[in-house]
Amino acid sequence: MAASTDEAKENADSLFNEIQRKITEAFDIFDHESNKTVDVREIGTIVRSLGCCPTEGELQDMLHEIEEEENTGYIRFEKFLPMMTKILMERRYKPSPEDILLKAFQVLDVEMKGYLTREELEKYMTEEGEPFTQDELEEMLSSAIDPDKGTILYKDYVSELTVDEQ
Amino acid sequence: MGCSLSLKTPKPKNVELSRTERKIIAAILIQKWYRMYVARLEARRRYTWTIFQSIEYSGEQDQLKLHNFFNSMINQLSLDVNGQPKIARAFASTQRPHVIAKETSDVIGSLDDIHIESTYTGPHLTLPITHAQVKTLIQAFKAKQRLHVRYLLELLNAARKLLQQQKNINYASTSISKQITVCGDLHGKLEDLYMIFHKNGLPSVDNPFVFNGDFVDRGPSSIEVATILLACFLASPNEVFLNRGNHEDHVMNLRYGFIKEIIKKYKNNAVKVTNAFSEVFSWLPLATVIDNKVLVVHGGISDHVSMKSLARLDRHKYISVLRPPTITEVGGLDSMSMELQRLEEWKQVLDLLWSDPKSHMGCNPNTFRGGGCYFGPDVTDSFLEEHKFQLLIRSHECKPEGFEYNHNGKVLTIFSASNYYDIGSNKGAYIKLSGPDLQIHIVQFLANECSGVRKLTFTQRISCLEASAMQDLREKILALKSDLLEEFKKHDTEEKGTITIGDWCSAMETVMDVDVPWRMLRSKLVKLNSDKQVIYDTTFEQLQILHRYSENGDSVMELLYRYKDSLETIFRIFDKDNSGYISMTEFQEACSILIRHTSVSLLPGQIKDVAKSLDLNKDGQIDFNEFLEAFRIVDQRGLDYTADHLREADSEEEFDNIDTISLASCNSGMGLKRSVEPSILCSA
């Protein structure tokens, strides 16, 4: 009994350590000056590259939690690490599965055509929810539009978006 | 509508979401998914960059380590009269014969025996070089013509004579031109130089240029780039300022391709051309000061550097900056202090050409590159203040955008070779300083921007780059296979063939000399079993290093492969007549040098066996180019894994077709990956 509790504790410790190392690596590739700080605008990229899928609103909440009192424009690693560790240990902001994402596209495809036109996608992505910037929109359209048909075959596109790294 | 969206948003039961609400929720879901997708791509782009850079710097580190080793050997040999005279002679080529050089006005000898054949169709030059001749040269190189060796040597000779009259520090003024352009590393990439001239015009009285070193090595057209720059300098000596870079150095050229290019393009006259270039390089000024406001140097500064002593030293002493000048005089009371002064001067030159800025305060040895230093913002501040400069412009480091500011905007890095690591890896840039206050304007470019080929999407571009970086990384991993296996087995006490992810990562960190995010790359490098344990054998994907002409065991070939670049440097030092051949004894000596330097375990008998098997026609000579190119990485089916990586072999022809080739090599790279491990490309 005691042995297995020890083992469980050991596993939890090693999981904790691994998660912290993973966060460190992700932080470091964005830390240009190697001084354990990153630009505040890159935090979203780091959080998401670690497999989390927060909304912009949720991301803002995270930022409030860790930003400096004076507006330095930088986030320090020592503040980021404990917050991010907690998120990953608790498995928060896990992306929803592929079929849910597909369903989301189907909701937007009111006529059930099986595809979205460029105009439809553009309208929803810039007018609803947490709107895309012009850059985000163009980048999305460039990869989402089928070069032959000129429309968004969202079933294919969903599988491109959801290929899992792990 | 049939489909309901089961999001975890709290919603009152029994109340159907309105269509509008459902659309908003759907849009948010897609948006956050897309933002995560883009973030992952961005992370891939960043670590790809980290891989390229880390591999580049670990090569430089090897080179410098080897060089320190050479130094101690030379010193040892000069004391030991019964030592191996052969090695001493080979090293003599990197030692400045400066006593002789000063007396003979011409190190390359007479040109009278080199005639222009009547069949020669390339460009003709007559000294002095004019602007019209610069244009002729540019046109000729565009048409892939080669400059006749006689013209080349005449041009180099003229350039050396003019450079000899220059001071260590150039002083440029914009009082007439009202503006000046500063370019960074070009590394033998002619298309980038042409792009700069296309956008910015050729050098003239109204259009002065500073070229901040690293004209040669790595790229396929180092001779052409250096020739055009020197021709520009000869045509406008008061408007073209050339700074020496860390690659304007004979020993660097041995390893990074310039010497190889010379041998390929000027076979019979390669020795003369090499010597002439080395001479020119050793006379290049070390820095340029613009309007007494801006200092332009290749690498950077250190707390040792002072403009005063830089102005005084004899720059010509350093045919290779990698080693301190040797002492020729023996004894004498002041020899000790003279030697100290020499070392002090040498260190300054090394720091100027090799240093990088960092955000840490003070000056620290540059452990990443192995030479020069890291200088902090305090070093920059006090240096600029002391000399009343406003800005330090330097190059030396590839940057994704072609430029980067550091130290509160007081240090500006400029790098002009676009697509440096691979197509799409980075932009090139140059700086225009204009007006009385030298206002900074940065121009970015990509050398082969306007292509008729279908534009790649962001995802495709990153996949291409990533595939190419991963291949470089895999080769490094394979070269350390036995060391890695040993390390893995330390963690696998029960011999299960598996270890934890954490253990795998720490083994990679311990053994590999590149600093990359192993946890992020893990899923692309190894397979896990159902218990999420790493099956560590899959690190090598059943690939192995083979050598076409040698059947020696895995470990011997692995070692030779690992040190292939260092071996090439040693071979080229031995090969004094640039014949491409060295004797069996020299081959064995080169290997023993390596063994002593790297403390690898390889028995003399094993080296002898390799040497024998490489002597194909049994005449006691080894064609080392062939030896070096005969390494192959194959999978267990014997399929060649290296094939598409040799795409640079025919770099000459690459020029015009660069767009199509880039796409083709991308595709083949991707195809290759797919055949090895399908998950690599599909992952996003």
Q: In terms of domains, do B374 and B517 share one? A: no
Q: Which pair of tokens denotes residue A48?
A: 């998401």
Residue A93 has pLDDT above 60, yes or no: yes
Cβ–Cβ below 8 Å for B684 and A95: no
CA–CA dist B427, B419 (Å, integer): 6
Count the domains in chain B: 2
| CA angle (B94, B100, B105) in 5-degree steps | 110
| Residue B22 with chain A: CB contacts under 8 Å | 107
- In chain A, residues under CATH classification 1.10.238.10 are 2-89, 98-162
* Interface with chain A: mutation pick from B1, B3, B33, highest number of A CBs within 10 Å: B33
The pLDDT of residue B665: 35
Chain mean position to CA B392 = 22
The single residue listed with the structure tokens 């460190």 is A24
Query: Of chain B residues 28-57, which have a CB less than 8 A from chain A?
Result: 28-40, 42-43, 46-47, 50
Closest CA to B192 of B180, B183, B179, B205: B183
Domain-terminating residue out of B445, B476, B491:
B445
Averaged pLDDT for residues A159-166? 70
CB nearest to A55's CB, from B6, B32, B358:
B32
- Is B35 part of any domain? no
Averaged pLDDT for residues B5-30? 71
- Is B302 part of any domain? yes
* CATH H superfamily, domain A98-162: EF-hand (1.10.238.10)
Q: Are B465 and B400 in contact (CB under 8 A)?
A: no
Q: In terms of domains, do B388 and B523 share one? A: no
The pLDDT of residue B449: 52
| Residue B523 with chain A: CB contacts under 8 Å | 165-166
| CA angle (B440, B399, B386) in 5-degree steps | 50
- Is B20 part of any domain? no
Q: In terms of domains, do B286 and B419 share one? A: yes
| Residue B46 with chain A: CB contacts under 8 Å | 29-30
At B111, which CATH number? 3.60.21.10
Residue B100 has pLDDT above 80, yes or no: no
Q: In terms of domains, do B225 and B323 share one? A: yes
Q: In terms of domains, do B162 and B247 share one? A: yes
Domain, as residue range, for B183: 98-445
| Residue B456 with chain A: CB contacts under 8 Å | none
Q: How many residues comprise chain B? A: 684
Q: In terms of domains, do B293 and B427 share one? A: yes
Q: In terms of domains, do B509 and B655 share one? A: yes
B264/B83: higher pLDDT: B264
Q: In terms of domains, do B351 and B487 share one? A: no
- Residue B544: phi, psi to the nearest 5? -150, 155
Q: In terms of domains, do B645 and B573 share one? A: yes
Q: In terms of domains, do B320 and B411 share one? A: yes
The single residue listed with the structure tokens 């394979």 is B478
CB nearest to A44's CB, from B25, B39, B684:
B39
CB nearest to B684's CB, from A21, A139, A163:
A163
Q: In terms of domains, do B358 and B407 share one? A: yes
Find the residue in A nearest to B501 (Cα). Answer: A18
E-strand ranges in B489-578 read: 498-499, 527-528, 534-535, 544-547
The SS3 call for residue B645 is helix
What is residue B638's DSSP assignment? Answer: -
Q: How confident is the model at residue B97 (pLDDT cuts 50, 70, 90)?
A: very low
B80/A80: higher pLDDT: A80
The SS3 call for residue B644 is helix
Residue A134 burial (CB count, 10 A): 8
| Residue A52 with chain B: CB contacts under 8 Å | 36
CA–CA dist A61, B509 (Å, integer): 35
Q: Which pair of tokens denotes residue B559?
A: 């070692």
Domain-terminating residue out of B423, B445, B467:
B445
Averaged pLDDT for residues B152-180? 94
Cβ–Cβ below 8 Å for A56 and B32: yes
Taking only the tens place, the pLDDT of each residue in B535-580 is 998 888 767 676 666 665 666 777 777 777 777 877 777 776 777 7
> Going by C-beta distance under 8 Å and a sequence separation of 6 or more, which residues neighbour residue B76?
B83
- Is B282 part of any domain? yes
Cβ–Cβ below 8 Å for A55 and B40: no
CA–CA dist B56, B653 (Å, integer): 25
Q: In terms of domains, do B366 and B462 share one? A: no
- Is B608 part of any domain? yes
Averaged pLDDT for residues A154-165? 80
CA–CA dist B228, B138 (Å, integer): 7
For strands B581-583 and B621-623, give the pairing.
antiparallel
Tell me, yes or no, if B491 is annotated catalytic. Answer: no
Domain-terminating residue out of B445, B474, B490:
B445
As a whole number of angstroms, the longest Cα–Cα distance in chain B is 102
Q: Is the complex ipTM more than 0.90? A: yes
- Looking at B67, B247, B547, B645, which residue is catalytic? B247
Q: How confident is the model at residue B532 (pLDDT cuts 50, 70, 90)?
A: confident
- The C-alpha of B509 sits at a distance from chain A's nearest C-alpha, in angstroms, of 12
- Is B77 part of any domain? no
- Is B664 part of any domain? yes
Q: What is A2-89's CATH number?
A: 1.10.238.10
- Is B469 part of any domain? yes
Taking only the tens place, the pLDDT of each residue in B19-43 is 788 889 999 999 999 999 999 999 9
Query: Of chain B residues 471-500, which have a CB less than 8 A from chain A?
Result: 500
Taking only the tens place, the pLDDT of each residue in B383-418 is 999 999 999 999 999 999 999 999 999 999 999 999
- The C-alpha of B29 sits at a distance from chain A's nearest C-alpha, in angstroms, of 7
